[in-house]
Amino acid sequence: MAGSTTSSKGPGSRPTKSERREAAREKARAFREERERRARRKRLLIQLSVILVAVLVVVGVFVVIQQVNRSKGPGAVPANMASDGLVVTKGLEPVRTDARAAGSDPEPYESVDGRLVVTVYADFMCPACGSFEQTYGQYLSTQAQAGNIDLEIHPVGLLDRYSSGSKYSTRAAAAAASVANYAPDHFMDFFTTLFQDGVQPSENTTGLTDDQLVEYARQAVGDDQPEVQDQVEKSIRNGEFQKWVAQATQAANLSATPTVKLDGEEWDMSGDLTEVIDERLRASGIDPDAAADAETSGESDTTQQ
């Protein structure tokens, strides 16, 4: 029929302006939706990353805290050092005690025989401690040998900062504790040896090596006790009592070494310690010179033999 106005599009007809506008809106809407999806996905990934990092930080802090707590946890306490010091009494006989429980407080020593208790806190790196040992070591041993005093020795690790990072004060004190634990009869020999000229290291050096500490300990114990030597060596090499040294040093609350106490009262380091102790012994009816005379007589008898 002529003059028909049908709106149907024929093949190849172009979209109208309205249709093009609608198609553009559809594309824009699809683009916005895709962009929003990407933004949401990005935000989600960021949030998950932040959460993951936070979890890792928390876990890392927990692990560090656990490691620090383990490193600062209670260490094994050596036997024969219930007070954190080894006591020698008449005949230089060590006072034997069981090892305290790890983390327990030291038990202050009191002489069961009412003897004057001379307590010495010493650091094996300390030059003043070396001088003290050279000056008073023999006198104190003689009075303890005679039964006039009880001598209490506390090896401490106060001067690690002067051993060039090797922690010699702690290592040496722990080695002394190893001897006290496994070979208490030889503790005084080991203690004295580490303060001898030519053995005690100077400050600001690395100090003796573990090999050297082991060798001096083996010499103190003696080759007639190889099993004991081996026990002491193993203890020194694995640092069995190094944690204890740190705890005992802190518990001692020292301002310097050597620190000397007479029946728990700190000596002010003035005057002559020999005279101070002699005066106290005489006040108790004890002749301190008799001990030295007896020791000299014993040495003469040995020489004559």
The pLDDT value given to residue 25: 63
Task: Round to whole Å and give the CA distance between 234 and 175.
Answer: 10
> Is residue 228 domain-shared with residue 198, that is, in the same domain?
yes
Structural domain that includes position 36: 23-72
- Shared domain for 143 and 251, answered yes or no, is yes
Buried b (16+ CB within 10 A) or exposed e, 89-123: beebebbebeebeeeeebeebeeeeebbbbbbbbb
282: which 2 tokens?
């005489």
| Beta strand extents in 256-304 (DSSP E only) | 259-262, 265-266
292 — pLDDT class (breaks 50, 70, 90): confident
Dihedral Cα 190, 225, 298, 85, nearest 10 deg: 40
Residue 62 has pLDDT above 70, yes or no: no
157-166, 246-255, 283-292: lowest mean pLDDT where? 283-292
Note whether 41 and 127 are same-domain residues: no
User: Mean pLDDT over residues 161-184, rounded?
Assistant: 98
Q: Which residue has the higher pLDDT, 87 or 53?
A: 87
Above 50 in pLDDT, residue 1? no
- Examine the domain organization and report whether 195 and 120 are in the same domain: yes
Alpha helices for the chain (secondary structure H) = 17-72, 127-145, 168-182, 187-193, 210-221, 226-237, 242-252, 273-283, 288-304
Per DSSP, 267 falls in state: P
Tokens 């979890």 correspond to 55
The pLDDT score that the predictor gives to residue 24 is 56
Strand, helix or coil for residue 112: coil
Three-class SS state of 94: strand
- Residue 9, number of CB atoms within 10 A of its CB: 11
| 80 domain-assigned | no
pLDDT of 30 > 70? The answer is no
The pLDDT score that the predictor gives to residue 50 is 73
Residue owning tokens 């030295």: 292
Measured in whole angstroms, the distance separating CA 206 from the mean position of its chain's CA atoms is 17
Mean pLDDT calculated for residue range 59-73: 46
On the question of a cis peptide bond just before residue 201, with omega within 30 degrees of 0, the verdict is no
- Say if strands 259-262 and 265-266 run parallel, antiparallel, or are unpaired: antiparallel
Shared domain check, 277 and 165: yes
Q: Write down the pLDDT at residue 282.
A: 97
Task: Please give the pLDDT value at position 16.
Answer: 81
Share of the chain above pLDDT 90, in %: 70
* Same domain? 68 vs 90: no
Contact status, residue 246 vs residue 203, Cβ threshold 8 Å: no
* pLDDT tens sequence across 86-111: 999 999 999 999 999 999 999 999 99
Statement to judge: residues 62 and 195 lie in one domain: no
- DSSP class per residue in 2-52: TT----PPPTTPPPPHHHHHHHHHHHHHHHHHHHHHHHHHHHHHHHHHHHH
Number of domains in the chain: 2
Position 64 confidence tier, pLDDT thresholds 50, 70, 90: very low
Mean pLDDT of the chain: 86
Whether 286 is covered by a domain: the verdict is yes
Question: Which strand (E) or helix (H) includes residue 230?
Answer: helix 226-237
DSSP secondary structure string for all residues of 93-105:
EE---PPPPTTPP
CA count, 13 A, side-chain hemisphere, 4: 5
Percent of the chain with pLDDT over 70: 77
Instruction: Give the count of beta carbons closer than 10 Å to the beta carbon of residue 278.
Output: 18
Given this model, what pLDDT does residue 27 score? Answer: 57
My answer on whether 234 and 274 are in the same domain is yes
Give the integer Cα–Cα distance in Å for 172 and 170: 6
In this structure, is residue 255 part of a structural domain?
yes
Closest to 32 (Cα-Cα) out of 44, 40, 20, 22: 40
